[in-house]
Amino acid sequence: MMTTRPNNGLLPIKQSLIALLFIAAACNKPSQSLPPQPVSQPVKLERPAQPAKNIVLMIGDGMGLSQISAGMIRNNNTLFLEQFPVVGLHKAYSSDNLITDSAAGATAFATGIKTYNGAIGVTADQNPAPTILEQAEERGMATGMVVTSTVVHATPAAFIAHVKDRNMYENIALGFLQTEIDLVIGGGSKYFNRRSDQRNIYGLLQEKGYYVSDFSIEPLTDIALDFTKNLAYFTSESDPPTVQQGRDYLVPASQLACNFLSRRSDKGFFLMIEGAQIDWAGHANNTSYMVSEMIEFDKAIGEVLKYAKEDGNTLIIVTGDHETGGFSINQGSTRDSIVAGYTTDYHTGTLIPVFAYGPGASLFSGIYENNSIYDRMCAAMGW
């Protein structure tokens, strides 16, 4: 680039010092290492004429556009996601890193606040931030979570717990005693009944009136549902298996959750469903693993869509927290086999798609910050 440089580019010493002082004053933080601060003006969100009674937030962990594309290609060029009339994009970065992790990503969705990587339901200053699930409970709505990780893993944890570090699993499990969540289905029973502090959280949940069960007692689909009790069902001791290893509960559990929660309160429900292992496959750069998890997640989307179409009062939002793997579909790919490229075994910083269906869906068009998804969900319910 051509520029005029008086004094051969050298400033007189005094001016240099002033310039340095100015730079030092302007930068009380090392700004190069921090992500960009939100620059968009706060948007005045219109409350829809018909508010959503129920919200189902479906999070594909690590699900960017190329993961969705690969699932579509390998599923005869079609996904249930195509039935969503509204599409938007969110900016996924966290408060301390341009590349978010799942803890900060889920905390942004759950609380409306951008926080640091690793944070679970706490602000950047490590103060607890109320979550949309807790607020829905306070308003008398029914609440639930269905996940394909453990229920104490970062994404579900951010909706129910408030701890400074995502790895505090036994601590996060105690969050399930704080909020009367109506339904929880996912892995990780060992954090509840085989704890290092010997506390039996199964028993404590039962004392609170929960029906507590797990994979070692009965299959989920054998449970005779008791709509007068909250339900906690654990699908595995630690991480649930993959779809390829035979895990198959996400689709029936998503259907069960909608039906169960709709009977738990006449004030509506908030349900979070996570396809957790799209991310794990991305970390492993394992394309067939990722595609099978993606297609199963889409089948769960189809099940929830079926419910929402019959119900008419349910808003579904499908998004990812970030992309994982820098995954691309390269030249030589066919419908039958994808020639994959990966740039990393971690997350990337690309924009993430948001799909919305139902009352208030139009609130989710456009480009906005990830934490704005919380504000838009609140607006959709008329809060």
| Residues designated catalytic | 102
- Cβ(239)–Cβ(154) below 8 Å: no
Handedness of CA 91, 131, 379, 86 (dihedral sign): positive
User: One symbol per residue from 336 to 365: x for binding Mg ion (CB under 5 A), - otherwise; what is it?
Assistant: ------------------------------
Size of the site for Mg ion (CB under 5 A): 6
Whole-number minimum distance, CB 283 to Zn ion, in Å?
6
Q: Strands 210-214 and 352-357, how do they pair?
A: unpaired
Spatial CA neighbour of 97 closest among 115, 72, 77:
115
182 binds Mg ion (CB under 5 A): yes
Find the largest Cα–Cα distance for the chain: 84
- Choose the contact partner of 182 out of Mg ion, Zn ion, none; CB within 5 to 8 A by kind: Mg ion
Question: Which residues ranging from 188 to 247 are in contact with Mg ion (CB under 5 A)?
Answer: none
Q: How many Cα atoms occupy the beta-carbon half-sphere of 333 within 13 Å? A: 15
**Residue 107 binding result from Mg ion, Zn ion, none, given CB thresholds of 5 to 8 Å by partner type:** none
Of the residues 68, 276, 294, 361, which one makes contact with Mg ion according to CB under 5 A: 276
Instruction: Quote the least distance from Cβ 206 to Mg ion, whole Å.
Output: 16
Note the Cα 33 to chain centre separation in Å.
25
Of 94, 95, 102, 324, which one interacts with Mg ion (CB under 5 A)?
Answer: 102
Choose one: 59-67, 209-217, 247-255, 337-345; the region binding Mg ion (CB under 5 A): 59-67
Residue length of the chain: 383
Residue 115 binding: pick among Zn ion, Mg ion, none (C-beta 5-8 Å cut-off by kind): none
Are 200 and 173 within 8 A, CB to CB? Answer: no
Q: Which is nearer to Mg ion, 47 or 283 (CB)?
A: 283
The Cα–Cα gap between 116 and 172 comes to 17
CB 54 within 8 A of CB 271: yes
Residue of 247, 330, 290 whose CA lies nearest to 64:
290
Closest approach of Cβ 347 to Zn ion, in Å?
Answer: 6
Tell me which stretch binds Mg ion (CB under 5 A): 7-15, 177-185, 209-217, 240-248: 177-185
Interface stretch with Mg ion, choices 86-94, 151-159, 192-200, 205-213 (CB under 5 A): 151-159
User: Token match 């959709």: residue?
Assistant: 380
Given 100, 107, 155, 319, the residue binding Mg ion (CB under 5 A): 155
* Binding partner selected for residue 323 from Zn ion, Mg ion, none, CB under the kind-specific 5 to 8 Å limit: none
Q: Which stretch binds Zn ion (CB under 5 A): 81-89, 117-125, 159-167, 276-284?
A: 276-284
User: Least distance (Å) from Mg ion to the CB of residue 96?
Assistant: 19
Residue in 15, 300, 285 with CA at minimum distance from that of residue 147:
300
67 binds, among Mg ion, Zn ion, none (CB under 5 to 8 A by kind): none
Binding residues for Zn ion, rule CB under 5 A, total 1
Residue number with the smallest Cβ distance to Mg ion: 155
Nearer to Mg ion, 276 or 316 (CB): 276
Q: How far is the CB of 264 from Mg ion (least distance, A)?
A: 7
Nearer residue to Mg ion within complex by CB, 129 or 133: 133
The tokens of 38 are what? Answer: 């939100």
Do 108 and 114 touch, CB atoms closer than 8 A? yes
Shortest separation between residue 118's beta carbon and Zn ion, angstroms: 12
> From residue 270, how far is each of 54, 101, 132, 316 by CA, in Å?
6, 23, 8, 10
Q: How far is the CB of 280 from Mg ion (least distance, A)?
A: 9
Nearest to 347 by CA among 101, 69, 81: 101
> Which are the contacts of 327, defined by CB distance < 8 A and separation ≥ 6?
64, 66, 67, 70, 282, 285, 287, 290, 340, 341, 342
Name the residue with the smallest CB distance to Zn ion.
Answer: 279
Both structure tokens of 211 = 């029906």
CA distance 17 to 29: 19
61 contacts Mg ion (rule: CB under 5 A): yes
Which one of residues 134, 137, 274, 279 is an interface residue with Zn ion (CB under 5 A)?
A: 279
Q: Residue 110 belongs to what H/E stretch? A: helix 102-111
Binding site for Mg ion (CB under 5 A): 61, 102, 155, 180, 182, 276
Residues forming contacts to Zn ion in the complex (CB under 5 A) are: 279
